[in-house]
Amino acid sequence: MRQRDAHLKQGLHDLGPVVADVRGAGLLVDSGPDGDRAVDVQQAAREQGVLVNAVAPDVIRLAPPLTVSADEVHGFLDRFAPVLREAAGPQPAAA
């Protein structure tokens, strides 16, 4: 389980500026999308088949089952990353 929770948290951190914060214990993880967009992220994620819980205006809670596999964590991150990026809106071009 430690490897999967580390993979999930690192994957969220790797999304860069669209994630303001990642915290939690084990696989129960709270992620803060940049800005007060948690409800928008929750709705967009549901449209992609991903269930997350907006527990505050700026906090998304992830609660995968303890039996989640590494492949399932990877698949979640692949589907969740575009949802967060879309919710964040256009990003400034790199110089």
One-character DSSP codes across 35-57 = SS-HHHHHHHHHHTT---EEEET
Domain ranges of the chain: 2-88
SS3 79: helix
Question: What integer pLDDT is reported at residue 33 of this predicted model?
Answer: 79
CATH number of 2-88: 3.90.1150.10
Find the mean pLDDT for residues 63-91: 87
- The pLDDT > 90 percentage for the chain reads 47
Average pLDDT for the chain: 86
Other Cβ atoms within 10 Å of 31 Cβ, number: 26
pLDDT number for residue 90: 62
Identify which has the larger pLDDT, 92 or 31.
31
| Pick from 17-21, 44-48, 58-62, 68-72: least confident | 17-21
